[in-house]
Chain A
Amino acid sequence: MSGAPNIGSGASVDTDATRGVSAGMASPGAASGAADSRGGANRSDRLWMYATMVKSRHFEALIKPAYFEGKSPVFNMAKGPIPGEMHLSDGQEPCAVGVCAHLRARDTVTATHRPHHVAIAKGVDLDAMAAEIFGKASGLSGGRGGHMHLFDARVNFACSGIIAQGLGPAVGAALAAKLRGEDHVAVAFLGEGAANQGAFHEALNLASVWKVPAVFVIEDNSYGISVAKRDCTAVERNSDRAAAYAMPGHFVPGNDADAVHAAAGAAIARARRGEGPSLIEIETCRLEGHFMGDAEGYRPEGEVERLKAADPIPAYRARLLDAGFEVAELDKAEAEARAAVDAAFAAARAAAYPEPEEAFAHVFA
């Protein structure tokens, strides 16, 4: 697998570079994946990735206390400003930014029950996303979907809660691009547990048979709720399963945004060239429980502490400083990212709830 992502000759420049209302800085978009002389991500991409990871983590950091509001002293899931389940993405940010650095608004992304980092990296409207999670009328679907069912048509992002069911739609979106003669791609995110679900195998086979510009990205955080990957998966590397579907499989160790960026760049470039789908498996980690409130008794002693010590965001910051980025520019990017999230949450809290009768709207178009 080559290290230098290459959008190839003939690829159309997508003028729609915006990724969302509160994108604090111009995101890679159309010029995505341009390599520097060393073959890695360019400076602009790396700064964007760092800022976006910070943005995503800060989003989760504000969600957590909001989620626990009202759920005290007894943790009753129905209570508080954010009822229901909550699946946070702390630790998995490199997967989202490394992939989405290469994507345009017109590229499709489908994600899972743990969607926030992917949505933010894809450029989903941050204000509308926060409002949706708080169940407000100004939310992405007016409060109808909530945290697991975020849809933003402007940036072709969708997520939902049934394991592996985002893969089929990604194949379809990829096929649409191919039939229209466009070089857009579709990326489906999934967990390692989803690689044991029938839909995964069907979608990969179909993507190959139809030779569509799809990329399947496995975020391997080692656990499907309480079940460890090694206890339920016949193979050690899910990327090896790509061979069964005649597509390249890339394994990316170490939860490393730059490494993800390189692998995703190659896969997305391949897809844009019309050469077909790929599978990427990223070794990442889940710093929080499966859902908020998860006691995580199934995790070995000390595991969470070890993972937190290897938090990818401070590690990436250190790497950027080593590579010559200035403290001031990183701090500035960070501050802008946090400010955007703070503003989105403030607006979401203040926003009005919908009228109850609105429940009946949009069942049919």
Chain B
Amino acid sequence: MSSRENMPSETSAADSIASVGAGMPAATARPARRLTIARAIAEAIGQEMERDGDVLVIGEDIAKLGGVFGTTTGLLDRFGAARVRDTPISETAFIGAAVGLAASGMKPIVELMFVDFFGVCMDAIYNLAAKQSYFSGGNVTCPMVLMTSVGGGYGDAGQHSQTLYATFGHLPGLKVVIPSNAHDAKGLMLAAIRDPNPVIFMYHKALQGMGWLGTVQRSITDAPEGDYTVPLGKAKVAREGGDVTLVGLGLSVHQALDAAERLAGEGVSAEVIDLVSIAPLDREAVRASVRKTGRLLVVDDDYLSYGVGAEVIASVCEAGIALRAAPQRIAFPDIPVPFTPVMEHYALPNAERIVASARAMMEMTSND
């Protein structure tokens, strides 16, 4: 039997097993090797540490524990404590140290356990790492990867559930990526480590495949064993369609794909764009899609105002693309993430909201 293809409606013999790989990169002829995003990240880091002695990993609980979110599993045993370093709770110091390591020609990967903690270490990120190349006229680069967990939906409340895509995407000098699946996670991480610029590598907690954070089956995809990269700054078409463009990143890609499936049942053909990269933002990929569909809906789980939706919609509108309906955005409202589930889930984007919004956009155009 051939390995699973990129076929959204494929069913499996056991009903309780969800379709794996739908909308995600297709497997090749060899048996697929499926990884969770957490495993893909750890694999990428391990492979690059093997290949390049200048790569090291720094962060809280990343050595013995293998990372609270599984990003560094097995690395301490393979590479030892000099290159896989547990730190004190001193983000501004060790992220600053990463900047210095990078300036000295090493390739540090540093983990900020929760993106919400950026408050204690932001200077090293946005004033140092982001500006090192600029201030030095390109003479001193900052080949650093800052990996960090984002996202909520599991009751971790206001200081442990944020995504902050816009906060980081907004600041010049940083590349910012977020994979929606294991294949991209591995390829993006390898590309990020090799990139001479500081890369903020966000991983969504709901997609890590950690079990205790739930499982999004579609994020578990084939990831080839060998070396490959996924380019930073390039969005992907996760599903082709002609009636409406749904744009997402990380978790919202999966919600958009779920919505697209439902919309297909209603005769609406949705195209789903996986941004992959927040900065640089692949505006042209979105524009190309909207030139085709004329309808744009952007979905993300960051705060609404001044967010990803705003940026994508502005990028399309200022290009003067003919639209068949007013562009829409679905995002987390401008409130702290509430603890109690009835409130949190009321606020979070979901597939139903995407379907409703897309349907409304389809109904808007009566003169076609």
Contact = CB atoms under 8 A, between A and B. Distances in A.
A/B touching: CB–CB < 8 A: yes
Interface residues of B, number: 43
Given A197-B89, A231-B86, A78 B342 contact: no
Interface in A178-200: 193-194, 196-199
Given A194-B89, A363-B336, A148 B61 contact: no
Contacts of B89: 163-164, 193-194, 196-197, 224, 232
Contacts of B342: 135, 143, 353-356
A77 B346 contact: no
A235 B159 CA distance: 30
A144 interface: yes
A291 to B, nearest CB: 9
Given A78-B153, A196-B89, A225-B60, A161 B160 contact: yes
Contacts of A78: 153-155, 213-214, 341
Contacts of A148: 157, 159-160
A76 B214 contact: yes
Interface string B51-70: 00000000011001100100
B343 interface: yes
B120 to A, nearest CB: 7
B74 interface: no
Contacts of B344: 359
Contact of B155 (A84, A225, A358, A360): A84
B155 A162 contact: no
Given A75-B212, A160-B159, A232 B340 contact: no
A224 B335 contact: no
B340 A77 contact: no
A83 B212 contact: no
A136 interface: yes
B158 interface: yes
A363 B89 CA distance: 30
Nearest to A160: B159
Nearest to A233: B88
Interface string B142-172: 0000000000011111111000000000000
Contacts of B90: 196-198
Contacts of B88: 193, 196-197, 224, 227, 232-233
Contacts of B120: 162-163, 165, 197-199
A147 B157 CA distance: 9
A143 B340 contact: yes
A18 to B, nearest CB: 27
Given A233-B88, A359-B343, A162 B212 contact: no
Contacts of A162: 116-117, 119-120, 159
Contacts of B333: 359-360
Nearest to A74: B211
A177 B91 CA distance: 32
Contacts of A83: 154-155, 341
B105 interface: no
Given A193-B89, A227-B60, A232-B87, A359 B154 contact: no
A33 interface: no
B363 interface: no
A3 interface: no
Contacts of B211: 74-76
A354 B339 contact: no
Interface residues of A, number: 51
A149 interface: yes
B304 to A, nearest CB: 12
A354 B89 CA distance: 36
Contact of B339 (A143, A163, A196, A225): A143
A355 B117 CA distance: 30
A301 interface: no
A298 B65 contact: yes
Interface string A296-307: 011000000000
Contacts of B364: none
Nearest to A358: B343
A169 interface: no
B154 A146 contact: no
Contact of B154 (A77, A145, A164, A224): A77
Given A353-B340, A354-B340, A360-B335, A226 B64 contact: yes
B347 interface: yes
A85 interface: yes
Interface in B315-367: 333-336, 338-347
Given A76-B213, A360-B333, A227 B343 contact: no
B292 to A, nearest CB: 37
A362 to B, nearest CB: 9
Interface in B59-99: 60-61, 64-65, 68, 86-93
A338 to B, nearest CB: 26
A293 interface: yes
B156 A354 contact: no
A236 interface: no
A357 interface: yes
A145 B86 contact: no
B288 to A, nearest CB: 37
B69 to A, nearest CB: 12
Contacts of B64: 226-227, 297-298
Pick the most buried of A78, A297, A356: most chain B CB atoms within 10 A of its CB.
A78
Contacts of A231: 86
Interface in A41-55: none
Interface in A219-267: 224-227, 231-233
A136 B46 CA distance: 45
A77 B208 CA distance: 14
Nearest to B211: A74
Contacts of B346: 356-357, 359
Q: Give the 7 A-B residue pairs with the shortest CB-CB distance, closest first.
A: A83-B155, A146-B339, A84-B155, A135-B340, A143-B340, A356-B346, A196-B88
13 contacts: A76-B211, A76-B212, A77-B156, A143-B338, A196-B89, A197-B91, A198-B93, A199-B120, A226-B65, A231-B86, A232-B86, A232-B87, A297-B64
Given A76-B154, A85-B156, A143-B342, 11 more contacts: A76-B213, A77-B154, A135-B340, A146-B155, A148-B159, A161-B160, A198-B120, A226-B86, A293-B212, A354-B342, A360-B333
